[in-house]
Structure 1
Amino acid sequence: MNTQSERAMSQTDRINTESPGPATVPRFQTHWNLVSGQLVAVELLWQGEILDGLDACGHPLRERQEAACRQVATVLDGHVGDVRLCLPLEWLELALPGTVDDWLATLAAWGLKASLLSVLVPERRAATDGKALATTLMPLRAAGVEVILGGFGAGASSLSELRELPLDVIRIDRAVVPDIVTDSHDTSLTRSLIQLVHGLHMRVMADGVTHDDQLQRLVDHGCDLAQGDCFGAAQTAEGLHALLHAGASMPQGLLGTRPRRRTLLLVDDEAAILSSLKRLFRRDGYHILTATSGRQGLELLASQPVDVIVSDQRMPEMTGIEFLREAKRLYPNTVRLTLSGYTDLQSIIEAVNEGSVYKFLTKPWDDDLLRNHVAKAFEQSELAAENCRLGGAVHRANRELIVANQRLSRMARDESARRLAMQSAAGASRDALDGLPMAVFGIGEDGMLAYVNRLAVRQWPEWSSALGGDPAPSMLQLLTALGQPAQRSDTDGLCTAINGRNALVWLHQVPGQKKPLGHLMMVQLLEDAAVAAPDRLA
C-alpha cells in the first residue's frame, strides 16, 4: 500500500481491535483490481449468523447489518470512482424478503444502485441448485448487478453448470492460493484455473492472498482481482471511510506497470566461476542472483522474478538441462542460456529440441561475446514481456466486450419481451373494450379524441369521425356537463338525451405513473328509458 493508505490501515486496525467481535460489528473485506491497482469493491463478511438474534448491546443483528450497509452506501456515494458493495446472496435472501425486484428496490432506497452492487454466490449452490439459482441471478445481472461465484477449485460444480449461470467473476478458493509461490503443482493449478476462467470469458479473483509474493505471482499469471489479508484487515464501515479518503492503491511495482531492474540468475556448482561471472556482468548494471545447484536456482525463481538464466550443464543432483526444463515449465517467460565446458552432442540436441535454451555457449568464454549474448537475451525477455502485456490487455478488453455484448443482448431481449407484453396487453385491452355493450371514447390529456371502440363507430359515427382531432361540438358539450360533479354520479352515470336518443354516460379518469393519461367516456343507449329533463340534455 502507499504511505497514506498504510496510515489509514493502522488507524482502522486500531478501530477493529477495539471493536467487539464480528458477530456484533459488521465488517467488510476489500477487493482489488490487479491491473489498475485500485480498490473496486467492499464485501460484507457474513458467516451465516442468525439475523433475528441480538448483539452484545441488545440490538437486533439484522438492524445492525442493515445500518452498516446503509453507512457504506453513503461512504461509497461520496467516493470518486466506481466502488461496488458486494453482498452474499444468502444474506440477501434472509435479510431482504420478497422477490429480486423487492431486493433491488430496498437497496436503491439505501442509496445502492444496481450498477454499484455485487452478489457473492457460494459454489455449493451452483452444484446443488443450479436451475433455481440461475432464475434468481438472471434478473439481478440484467439490472446491472455483478455476479461472483465463490469457492471455485475446491468444490464439486462442473464446467457445464458454470456455463449455464449468469456469472461475471469466478473467485478461486483460498485453499488453492497459499502455496502458489513454493509448490510447483499449485502454481500450475492456479495458472490453469486462471486460463480456464478466462476461456469462459469471465474475470478471475483470488481469495485469501496473504503476502506480496503470492500477489506478484498472481499478477504474473494474469489474475484480474484479489482479496485477503495482504491488503489489510477487515474494515468496519467507519474504517472504510478513512481508507477511501486516504486514496489507497496497490504499489505499482507489484503490477508490472513500471520497468523493473534487469535480473540475471547465474547457476554453477563452482564458486570461482560464479565469482568471475558476477564481476563480468556487474558493469552492465544487472541485478545478479547466484545459485550453486539447480534446486537452489528453483528456490530463487520462486522467491523473485528473473528475466535471464545462465546455467552450467554438468552439476550434481540436477543437470543444467533438467534445471532449465523445469524452469521453462514453471516460468516460461524467462530466457535461458547454457554455459558449459562439455559440448557433448546429446546435451546440445536435448537443449535445442526441447526449447529449453535460447543459446548454448561454451567455456572458456569470450567476455564481450558472452555479454552481448546476455544483453540480447534481456532484449528478447523484454520484448516477450511487452507482447504478453499487450496480449493480456487485448484479451481483457475482448472479455469485457463479450460480457458487455452479452448483457446488452439480454437487455435487448428483455426490452423486446416487455414491448411484446405491452403490445399484447394493449391488444387485449382493445379487444375487451370492443366487446363492451356500450360505446367507449378515449380523450387524451391534450383534449384530442384518441380512441373509439367498434360500437362507438357504429352508434356515433358523427363523433367517431373526429378521431385524432378535437371532439365534435356536441361531444364537447357533453364532456363539459360530465366535468361538473353535481351533474353526474360515478356509479349511476349521467342520464341524458343525445340527439334525441336517451343514454347513460360515464366519465372516468385514466391514471398514469406520473400524471393522468386522459379520460374514458362510456355511452350506453337506453331505448326504453324516459327522456331526460331539458336542463340535462347534451
Structure 2
Amino acid sequence: MNAAPPSHAITRLGASEPELARLIDAANSDGPPLMLLHIDIDHFRSVNENMGAEIGDQALIMLGERLAAKFGPDAHIWASGSDEFLVALPLLPGNPSPEQYGELARSQVELPMLILPFTLFLTGTVGIALCPEHARTASALLHCAEYAVAQAKLEGLNLVRRYTRGAAISLRNDGIIAREIVSAVDNGELRLCYQPQVSAGDGRVIGMEALLRWQSPTLGTLIPERFMRTAEKLGVITQIGDWVLRNVCQQARIWRDWGYPDLEIAVNISTLQLQRPTFAMEVVEAIQAAGIPSGMIVLEIRQSALAMDMNFVHQTLANLHREGIRLTLDDFGMGDSSLDSLIRFSVDKIKIDRNFVKGLPAGSREVAITCAIIAMGHQLGMKVVAHGVETETQLGFLRRNQCDIFQGHLFGHPMAADEAGEVLRRRFVRSDAFIATQPDRTLLLVDDEENILRSLVRLFRRDGYRVLAASTVADAFDLLATNDVQVILSDQRMSDMSGTEFLGRVKVLYPDTMRLVLSGYTDLATVTDAINRGAIYRFLTKPWDDNDLREHIRQAFHTYAEQHSRIAG
C-alpha cells in the first residue's frame, strides 16, 4: 500500500459531504465503481466507560491513522458518529474485491492498540455498499452501507457483509425489537429452553445448557442472535441476564430436589454482564438464594469478552472460580480466539465451535483444528465439549478422538423445562449409538470401481473378516469414524483423491491402522514417498492373485496384533 496521508485528512462526514458526492458523480458517469465501507467498532462504549473518554479518543485517532496508511492516498476516510469510520475507494481493475477490502479494514481494527496503561483489543463490523450497483446518491449509499452493518450484526460481530436488498426490512424489524425488548422482562415474555449435554462414555445426561427465547408480541419467537445486540445497545442486557441467571438457579433447585445433585446447567454470559463490577457477587447471591451448590452452575463466556479489559475480567473470573462456579470458554477456535486466554484465565472447559464439528470427519482443516483443540484442552486439564453434533458419523469421530462431552440435535433439540425433565428421568440419550463394538478383525476396502469392490468383498469374506466397503473417500472417512478398523486396502487411482493421499490423511487420524494400496499402475516417486512417510504398509499391484492378496491382508492383521500386544505388554 502507499504511504499514509496525514491524520488531519480524516474529517467528519455530513450527509451532504461534497467530496463523497463528487466521487459518486464520477462513478455514475461511466467511471470506476465506488466502494463505501462502513466500519463500526464493536462494544466501543465499554472503552469509554471503563477506561475513560481520553483513552477512547486516542484509540479512534490511532485507528484512523491505521486505515489511512493501509488504504493509501486513493481512499477517502471520514469519522462518523462516536465509534464509526467510512472509507470510500474507487474499484480499479486489478484491485482487491470489496470483500477483501472489508477484511483488510476489519483486520486493522483487530490489531492490538497500546495506549498506556492499557492494551486494547477491539473488533469491528464492516458493511459494504457499491455505487452504482446499490445506490446512486450519497444519502442512499450511506444508508446501504449502514444497512449492511446492521445485517452483519444479526449474524454476530466482527464480520464483513455486502449490502443486500432485503436489509431494509430487517432494520424495520430491529426498530420493533428496540421498542419491545425494553419491557420484555416486566411483561413475562422471556422463556428458557434446555438442551442436553451428554457424556462421551455412554450417552448419560450430565448437564443442560439454558438457551434464551423471547416471545415478541409482534415478531413471534426470536433467538438471542436477533435481539441481544439491541438489548446491549439499550442497556437492558443486564436486566435480561439477571432474569436468566435467577431462573436457571431456580430450575437447578427443582432438578436437585428430584435427585440429580451432580447435574450441571450452563448459562451464557454477555460481555456487558462480565464487565459489571458487581457481577461475581450477583452470581453468588442467585446461587445462594436458590439453595444449590455452586458447582451446579457453569458460566459460558465468549472469547471476545476476555479481550476487553484483561486485568478486570481476570479478577472477576478468579473470584467466580474461588466460589466453586465452573467456567466454559464458548465457541473456541472462532473469531479472535487466543491461546493466551487459556493460560491467563481460569476455565474448566472449552467448547469446540459448531462450524468445526459440522465439517467432521471429511474436512481436513476441521479435523486438524478439532483434534488440536481436544489435545490442547486435555493437556491443560480441561474437559472439551463438542457443540452441534448432529450425525452418528460426527459422534463416532469425536469419541475416537477422546472428546469428553457432546451437545447437539443428535441428542435433543432445545426443549422446555418439563420435556428436559423427562430426558433427565431417562438419564441416557441415544445409548444405541454409544455401544462400542470392537471386532477383532475389521477390514475396510476402498475403490471407486463397483465391480472391483464387489470382487474384493467376496474374496475376503471367506476369511472371516468383518468387511466394510466404500466407493468414495468421503464414505471411507464416515466408516472410519464409526467403526474400529484395523486394516485398510485402498485403490490408488480414484476420482476424488489418490490412494496414497487418502492413506496419508488416515495415518494422521488413525495412526495405528495398517494401510495398503492396490494399484493398476506404478508411480515410483509417489509410492516411495508414501512408504518413506509411513503412510502405507505395503504397495500391491493389479491384477492380483487371490491367494497372494489374502496372504498380504492376513499378515497385515498379524502385524497389527503384534504391535498392540507389545503396547499392552
Q: Into which bin does the TM-score normalised by the smaller protein fall?
A: 0.5 to 0.7
Please identify, of 133-142 and 330-339, the stretch whose mean Cα deviation from structure 2 is larger: 330-339
Distance 1:226 1:382, change over 3 A: farther
CA deviations over 1:458-503 (Å, ceiling 9, x no partner): xxxxxxxxxxxxxxxxxxxxxxxxxxxxxxxxxxxxxxxxxxxxxx
Structure 2 distance, partners of 1:277, 1:364, is 12
1:301 counterpart = 2:441: no
Distance 1:268 1:369, change over 3 A: same
Distance 1:272 1:160, change over 3 A: closer
User: Could you tell me which residue of structure 1 aligns to residue 263 of structure 2?
Assistant: 83
Distance 1:129 1:263, change over 3 A: farther
User: Could you tell me which residue of structure 1 aligns to residue 528 of structure 2?
Assistant: 349
Contact 2:411 2:429 in 1 (8 A): no
Structure 1 distance, partners of 2:474, 2:422, is 42
Report the secondary structure of 2:191's partner residue.
Answer: coil
Alpha-carbon offset, residue 90 of structure 1: 4.0
Alpha-carbon offset, residue 135 of structure 1: 0.8
Alpha-carbon offset, residue 50 of structure 1: 6.0
Report the secondary structure of 2:518's partner residue.
Answer: strand
1:218 counterpart = 2:398: yes
User: Could you tell me which residue of structure 2 aligns to residue 189 of structure 1?
Assistant: 369
Distance 1:346 1:304, change over 3 A: closer
Alpha-carbon offset, residue 243 of structure 1: 1.3
Distance 1:22 1:314, change over 3 A: farther
Distance 1:299 1:317, change over 3 A: closer
Report the secondary structure of 1:230's partner residue.
Answer: coil
Question: Aligned to 2:199, which of 30, 33, 37?
Answer: 33
Question: Aligned to 1:374, which of 550, 553, 558?
Answer: 553
Alpha-carbon offset, residue 163 of structure 1: 0.8
TM-score normalised by the chain length of structure 2:
0.54
Distance 1:136 1:362, change over 3 A: same
Report the secondary structure of 1:25's partner residue.
Answer: strand
User: Could you tell me which residue of structure 2 aligns to residue 230 of structure 1?
Assistant: 410
Distance 1:111 1:264, change over 3 A: same
Distance 1:324 1:64, change over 3 A: closer
Report the secondary structure of 2:190's partner residue.
Answer: coil
Alpha-carbon offset, residue 125 of structure 1: 0.8
1:470-481 correspondence to structure 2 within 5 Å: none
1:44-443 correspondence to structure 2 within 5 Å: 44-46=210-212, 47=224, 48=228, 66-67=246-247, 69-80=249-260, 82-90=262-270, 93=273, 98=278, 100-101=280-281, 103-251=283-431, 253-254=433-434, 257-260=436-439, 262-268=441-447, 273-291=452-470, 296-302=472-478, 304-305=480-481, 307=485, 308-313=487-492, 319-340=498-519, 346=525, 348-362=527-541, 365=544, 367-368=546-547, 370-378=549-557
Report the secondary structure of 1:352's partner residue.
Answer: helix
Alpha-carbon offset, residue 271 of structure 1: 5.1
CA deviations over 1:101-152 (Å, ceiling 9, x no partner): 4532431231221122211112111122322111111122122221111121
Alpha-carbon offset, residue 191 of structure 1: 1.8
Distance 1:342 1:247, change over 3 A: same
Q: Give the residue type in structure 1 aligned to 2:488.
A: I
Contact 1:267 1:311 in 2 (8 A): yes
CA deviations over 1:289-321 (Å, ceiling 9, x no partner): 4456xxx23443235546222124466775433
Structure 1 distance, partners of 2:498, 2:283, is 63
Structure 1 distance, partners of 2:496, 2:308, is 49
Report the secondary structure of 1:156's partner residue.
Answer: coil
Please identify, of 336-345 and 346-355, the stretch whose mean Cα deviation from structure 2 is larger: 336-345
Structure 2 distance, partners of 1:126, 1:386, is 47
Contact 1:68 1:237 in 2 (8 A): no
Structure 2 distance, partners of 1:38, 1:103, is 28
Alpha-carbon offset, residue 32 of structure 1: 1.8
Q: Give the residue type in structure 2 aligned to 1:356.
A: A
TM-score normalised by the chain length of structure 1:
0.57
CA deviations over 1:3-23 (Å, ceiling 9, x no partner): xxxxxxxxxxxxxxxxxx995
What do you get for the CA RMSD once the two structures are aligned? Answer: 3.9
Q: Give the residue type in structure 2 aligned to 1:154.
A: M
CA deviations over 1:368-426 (Å, ceiling 9, x no partner): 554344245346557878999x9xxxxxxxxxxxxxxxxxxxxxxxxxxxxxxxxxxxx
Contact 2:280 2:320 in 1 (8 A): yes
Contact 1:73 1:85 in 2 (8 A): no
Contact 1:328 1:334 in 2 (8 A): yes
CA deviations over 1:175-223 (Å, ceiling 9, x no partner): 3221223322222222222223333332211222222222222222222
Structure 1 gaps of 5+ residues are 1-20, 54-59, 391-538
Structure 2 distance, partners of 1:61, 1:327, is 45
Q: Give the residue type in structure 2 aligned to 1:275.
A: R
Contact 1:207 1:226 in 2 (8 A): yes
Q: Give the residue type in structure 2 aligned to 1:33.
A: S
Structure ID, larger Rg? 1
CA deviations over 1:314-336 (Å, ceiling 9, x no partner): 66775433443344345444321
Please identify, of 162-171 and 182-191, the stretch whose mean Cα deviation from structure 2 is larger: 182-191
Higher relative contact order (CA 8 A, sep 6+): 1
CA deviations over 1:403-451 (Å, ceiling 9, x no partner): xxxxxxxxxxxxxxxxxxxxxxxxxxxxxxxxxxxxxxxxxxxxxxxxx
User: Could you tell me which residue of structure 2 aligns to residue 397 of structure 1?
Assistant: none
User: Could you tell me which residue of structure 2 aligns to residue 56 of structure 1?
Assistant: none
Report the secondary structure of 1:235's partner residue.
Answer: coil
Q: Give the residue type in structure 2 aligned to 1:281.
A: F
Structure 1 distance, partners of 2:242, 2:321, is 25
Distance 1:260 1:362, change over 3 A: same
Distance 1:349 1:286, change over 3 A: same
Report the secondary structure of 2:356's partner residue.
Answer: coil
Report the secondary structure of 1:229's partner residue.
Answer: coil
CA deviations over 1:148-170 (Å, ceiling 9, x no partner): 11121112142223311011111
Distance 1:123 1:336, change over 3 A: same
Alpha-carbon offset, residue 355 of structure 1: 0.9
Alpha-carbon offset, residue 346 of structure 1: 4.9
Structure 2 distance, partners of 1:22, 1:179, is 39
Report the secondary structure of 1:185's partner residue.
Answer: helix
Structure 2 distance, partners of 1:149, 1:61, is 18
Structure 2 distance, partners of 1:387, 1:45, is 49
* Percent of aligned positions that are identical: 34
Contact 2:488 2:514 in 1 (8 A): yes
Q: Give the residue type in structure 2 aligned to 1:324.
A: L
Q: Give the residue type in structure 2 aligned to 1:321.
A: T
Q: Give the residue type in structure 2 aligned to 1:278.
A: V
Distance 1:210 1:387, change over 3 A: farther
